[in-house]
Amino acid sequence: MKRTRIDLTQLADIRNLMHAFHKAAKDKRHRKSVLRFEKDLDNNLNRLSQDIVDKKLPYGRFRSFTIYDPKKRLIHAACFDDRVFHYAFMNYAAPVLEKAMSPTSYACRHGFGVHQAIGKAQKCLRAFPYVIKIDIEGYFPANPHVKLQCAFTRKFKGSDALGQIHRIVNSHSSHPGHGLPIGSLTSQYFANYYLDSLDRFMENHAKVMAQVRYMDDILWWCVSKQHALETLVEIENELAALGLRIKSNVQIQKSSLGVTFCGYRILQGALRLTLRKKTTLPAAEVGLGKAARKREYYCFTAAAGLRRRRKYLR
């Protein structure tokens, strides 16, 4: 098993920090925290560089607020200094994690995403008779710090890299020893990679015909209801070993009935936006404009793959 070493000197390199700054500031140049940082950019980057070498980062300062999308979520936004540092670290760590993760995981990955996930899910609905859907209860707040850090020892080596991961993970706790802050770049990658062992377990399971995971929303397919129930018990045990629990809203049903996933109602022959998706997307993005009563849905065609079509219903 090949493991990667990331030295503090690599992270502290000014070129890496400058690259990280531009990533962190993208589409946020107007914010006061970004303007203050950019006003004295050279000195701030030199300060971050020295603090990385001195193992003082991340500072662990967060701004907390609640959003409704429409589900209630408590967001912990890292201070801008920490955001620059997160990008500096992920400039080196992200390619390693990307390469390591299963192709059945679609969240927060270049070249993957929601549309690819629902496209794969629809193909599987057509191919296999039973679909199972689960969601992990309070996934980000439930991530256990110790087990999460142990998972990274499979891909990273050296006190610099592992120590830095330890400091990032322990910079926030939802409750003692648990939790990743929703809203941080590192949280997206760390939470996604933590379930990679479950992806591999399902890939090698004889009764799991196919699978799709978007962060903590998981679908898989079986050839019978009996196989579905058996795999559910085994996957529940795998998650328990990771310190996680499945929500009570488990769905086991025939693929012909379709499934709701990533804000879409996925059927074997069509895709539709859920009510939640319609209310959260800007009107212009879903093609509603001023006619707020009009509905949009998506449909697959054999010639064009996933193609956007609009039907307006009064």
Q: How far is CA 114 from CA 101, 212, 215, 253, in A?
A: 17, 11, 11, 22
In this structure, what DSSP letter does residue 308 have? E
Residue given tokens 């607020």 in the structure block: 65
Coil vs helix vs strand at 94: helix
What φ, ψ does residue 47 adopt, rounded to 5°?
-65, -45
Tens of each residue's pLDDT in the chain, 314 residues: 689 999 999 999 999 999 999 999 999 999 999 999 999 999 999 999 999 999 999 999 999 999 887 678 899 999 999 999 999 999 999 999 999 999 999 999 988 999 999 999 999 999 999 999 999 999 999 999 999 999 999 999 999 999 999 999 999 999 999 999 999 999 999 999 999 999 999 999 999 999 999 999 999 999 999 999 999 999 999 999 999 999 999 999 999 999 999 989 999 999 998 877 766 665 544 444 434 334 444 444 333 344 444 333 33
- pTM summary value: 0.87
Q: In Å, how far are 64, 201, 203, 246 from 237, measured between CA atoms? A: 33, 11, 16, 10
